[in-house]
Amino acid sequence: MSIGPGYRTRASDHAGKCLATLACTLLTISPVNTVSAQSQLPAPLFAADDVLALSIEAPFTTIRRDRSETEYRDGILRYSDSEGKQHSLPLGLRTRGEYRRRKDVCDFPPIRLNFRKNGNEANVFAGQDRLKLVTHCKSGRGDYQQYVIKEYLAYRILATLTDNSFKTRLLRLTYIDTEKKKRQLYTKYAFLIEDKDELARRLGWKPEDVPRLEDEQLDRQQANLVNVFEYLIGNTDFSMVLGARDEPCCHNIVLYAATPGTFVPVPYDFDLAGLVNAPYATPNPKYKLKAVTQRLYRGFCRNNDLLPATLAAFSEKEAEIRRLVEEIEGLSGYHKRRITRFIDDFYEDFENERSIEKNFLRDCATG
């Protein structure tokens, strides 16, 4: 028996012993799709997965020093298209984020790009307005590029499971500091994240800001898929019902109104996940975990009836997820092996009814 292509189970060893429980239904269940919209094609920037080489000229000395979240600095983005044509796009840059914007955490902060109204109509950046740029954090540490690629990989894994996720594009980005006679600082891996309004356009939904909400207001299938995905990557740095501290809902989740009264949660920001295992990542003391690589399922108990189909969807995509790890550019063999073992552990966590009870049903959230 199997719950999906490529799923490794010891069903033949215990099928006769299965109890009439939710976990046992995993042996025969078929995967189910999450909520879907009338999806449009992604913008040109996110329509391909190959690595895009480009450069940005900007006053990076000031950007790294001031770290303003309000003041944009002028810059120019340059790249060559597939036909060799050179493109130069004016844009503004400012720092963004919270934790990685701190100087004691990262000497190079995350950046927000703001494209000018004119100049990017007939190129790969057509239609783009604002974009998040995920950077390398530590300039003098080559290993920090691995953490950028691993966070990018987390976004790609989610995209294999659902269209209800942010598109991304991996870059080889050359930074040129205009305050140092246009001196090239370095070339690093980075990636761009689709803007939340662009995702709304693509899926035909509307992003919503609410103070907080109850789990009953969330689309059950998408919420379940996101919770299992966060478990896969070992992430607890999110909330679908509350914002961080006194901020509006939600923490590292964007809510979209798909139908009246129902919200679709779309996650982002995975640098504190165990799959990434960044040096600055520490476990949330609230959950009493010993390391960020220790998993904790935070799904809602009221959605346990959907868990078999949700896990079946992950089983169905196992081969594709593993192929992503093997084929992703820039990731070292060492990190590929560590991630492969981490993914092995995830699939072992629901290979039989006892493991499902231990890893999912026992720790589900009651509200």
How many structural domains is the chain composed of?
Answer: 2
In a domain, 165, yes or no: yes
In a domain, 69, yes or no: yes
Backbone angles phi, psi at 47, to 5 degrees: -85, -10
Compute the half-sphere exposure of residue 74: CA atoms within 13 Å on the CB side of its CA. Answer: 3
| Distance of alpha carbon 113 from alpha carbon 72, whole angstroms | 9
In a domain, 190, yes or no: yes
Out of 199, 221, 245, a domain closes at 199
The tens place of each residue's pLDDT in the chain, 367 residues long, gives 233 333 333 333 333 333 334 445 554 555 545 555 567 889 999 999 999 999 999 999 999 999 999 999 999 999 999 899 999 999 999 999 989 999 999 999 999 999 987 666 779 999 999 999 999 999 988 899 999 999 999 999 999 999 999 999 999 999 999 998 888 999 999 999 999 999 999 999 999 989 889 999 999 999 999 999 999 999 999 999 999 888 889 999 999 998 888 999 999 999 999 999 999 999 999 999 999 999 999 999 999 999 999 999 999 999 999 999 999 999 999 999 999 999 999 999 999 999 999 999 998 998 6
In which element (H, E) is residue 57 found?
strand 52-58
In a domain, 366, yes or no: no
Residues 234, 344 within the same domain: yes
Residues 193, 222 within the same domain: no
Out of 163, 180, 199, a domain closes at 199
Peptide bond into 250 cis (omega under 30): yes
In which element (H, E) is residue 253 found?
strand 253-259
Closest to 61 (Cα-Cα) out of 188, 198, 221, 175: 175
**Token digits of residue 345:** 């552990």
Residues 352, 268 within the same domain: yes
Q: Which domain holds residue 111?
A: 46-199
